[in-house]
Chain A
Amino acid sequence: MRDTWIRIGKKCIRFLLLLFCTSIAAFALMKCSPVDPLQANVGQTALGSMSAEQIEKLETYWGTNASPVQQYLAWITDFLKGDMGTSLLYRQPVSQVIAVRLANSLPLLLFAWALSGLLGVMLGAVAGMRRGKWCDRLIRGYSLLISDTPAFWVAMLLLIVFGVWLGWFPIGMSVPIGVAASEVSLAERISHFVLPALTLSLTGTANITLHTREKMIEVMDSDYMLFARAGGERGFRLFWRHGLRNILLPAITLQAASIGELIGGSVLVEQVFSYPGLGQAAVQAGLGSDMPLLMAVTLICAALAAAGNLTADILYGLVDPRIRKGGAQR
């Protein structure tokens, strides 16, 4: 047991180190960008009409003439204290913008994560057990097709079919336009939620389906499966008693590690549906050169993705009795 705790501790330290380096990388990239912080903050005309002394004063005030290392340290310590700076686009503290956006995005991500995981395991198990039959071909073909299709285009297709032609769901945003926030009903929120969530779930299933299918085929070829089948077990009972546990572990690990990909997909999907989430904020911040917001979104998304990977790593060690009992170190 002590070994397990040491292993988990090491993983956590690595997680923190990774986030630290991510913040350095993001900061370095931002420093490379041609965006001049002074000009972005006070505007070109205002900056042009200022005297050299005024500009110098401003530079000292904002610390833009300090060394990059000092700037980084100042930024990261403030960031950790919760002061993420002020968004240029929204003229609000970044932490507030992020809080609102995160509240919109999290349900979307969680729903899509759970649904794609559930669907993926089910489809993958069915395909693996019926290897070579028509339903295997269908599921495999669907998964390969989806993994070749850009997520934003799937979103656009769903938008055309269900939003424009059939008119079942609204075509964008998270709430109806022109309605006070307090008057938005839950049903309206859900109807705005369905299409983006569905798109993300559909695009998320492909990977886990294909992997679960591979694993299921492996399980079906095993001696214990052969024995169980020789004993007359078949169908759902066979799957429930011998298949599920063996495919579940890799599936959970894979799904936990897929959070990064899911966030990447949500950036595109939120953009198509104008869904005011974290991903859309990243796009707006990038296009509008709103560096404080872009950096904060990047760090938070990276933290979410890295936390997913960390969970996958820890789960892998804890759940599987073969690894838990020591020996196999990855």
Chain B
Amino acid sequence: MTMRERSLIGLVGAMFFLLAVGIGGIYFADVAVATDFTAKNIAPCLAHPFGTDWMGRDMFARTLRGLALSIGLGIVSAAVSAGIALILGIAAAVLGKKVDAVISFLIDLVLGIPHILLLILVTVALGRGFFGVAVGIALTHWPALTRVIRAEVIQLRESPYIQVAEKLGKSKWHLIRRHVIPHVLPQFLVGTVLLFPHAVLHESSVTFLGFGLPSNQPAVGNILAESMRYLLGGQWWLAVFPGVFLTIVTGLFYAVGQNLRKLTDPGSVHD
């Protein structure tokens, strides 16, 4: 089996799993918040593979629901963040030195404040909840991808076909639309997918701290924050399974990104 085939299989498998988690989360939306006080604090068993919590809610359903919420939020905010990165990256490379300096400074500014703290500030400013976290993540995750795109476009500008098009008197907008964007698109897509795991991790972290999704939502951050109160009572399953699944989901997003990178890189055909 060639490397490309293996990558493709890995990609499809990971996507399938993530899709299953998403669908499971939608399917279990009601079960995840249904309480059953006759079945509380049950350790993992066949009927409740992840156990139940102190209100008898099924942890398997809650975990899937929480992951689906995180994935949804992660995708939305990472996509917005990637859009910002595309625009700023191209603008920095094409619109001259002054714009470049300003955007580089902005990148340093955002990278200068630790992510979590900036997220706390943004969520405090916008009010907590879905909107606050989504905006916070969108505003904090673009710098790395912007740098990549900027570097790529600067290199691209020196290439003959762009120079020729410029000499032919094509407008900047035409150059960007017809020549630059198609060229950076694969890298942009891979970079966007690789933003997801960060977005999901930061969403759950900031929710865990109490700044993210409201506590009545079964987000993974909330589930884990609640489980903190029951650790001493020995209810380890409340913390272990949601955490394991969160790690699996971020790992799979990462794997999807890496495999996508290999598949979109024409040089890898020979591996």
Chain A interfacial positions (CB closer than 8 Å to B):
14, 17-18, 21-22, 25-26, 29-30, 32-35, 144-145, 148-153, 156-157, 159-160, 164, 171, 260-261, 263-264, 267-268, 271-272, 279, 282-283, 286-287, 289, 294, 297-298, 301-302, 305-306, 309
Chain B interfacial positions (CB closer than 8 Å to A):
105, 108-109, 111-117, 120-127, 197, 201, 204-205, 208-211, 224, 227-228, 231-232, 234, 236, 239-240, 243, 246-247, 250-251, 254
Q: Which residue of the partner chain B has the closest CB to A265?
A: B116
Among B113, B117, B120, B239, max chain A CB count under 10 A is at B117
Known interface pairs A151-B205, A153-B246; A22-B125 also in contact (CB < 8 Å): no
Asked if B240 and A25 sit within 8 Å, CB to CB, the answer is: no
CA distance A160 to B240 in the complex (A): 9
Q: Which residue of the partner chain B has the closest CB to A268?
A: B205
What residues of A have a CB within 8 angstroms of the CB of B250 in the complex? 148-150
What residues of A have a CB within 8 angstroms of the CB of B197 in the complex? 148
Known interface pairs A145-B251, A267-B209; A301-B124 also in contact (CB < 8 Å): no
Interface residue SS majority, chain B: helix
Closest chain-B Cβ to A19's Cβ sits at a distance in Å of 8
Interface residue SS majority, chain A: helix
Q: Which residue of the partner chain A has the closest CB to B116?
A: A264
Asked if B120 and A283 sit within 8 Å, CB to CB, the answer is: yes
Known interface pairs A18-B112, A264-B114, A297-B117; A152-B247 also in contact (CB < 8 Å): no
Among A148, A264, A294, max chain B CB count under 10 A is at A148
Q: Which residue of the partner chain B has the closest CB to A297?
A: B117
Asked if B120 and A21 sit within 8 Å, CB to CB, the answer is: no
Asked if A267 and B112 sit within 8 Å, CB to CB, the answer is: no
What residues of A have a CB within 8 angstroms of the CB of B224 in the complex? 152-153, 156
Among B121, B197, B208, max chain A CB count under 10 A is at B121
CA distance A306 to B205 in the complex (A): 23
Asked if A153 and B243 sit within 8 Å, CB to CB, the answer is: yes
Known interface pairs A29-B122, A32-B126, A156-B243; A287-B114 also in contact (CB < 8 Å): no
CA distance A30 to B121 in the complex (A): 7
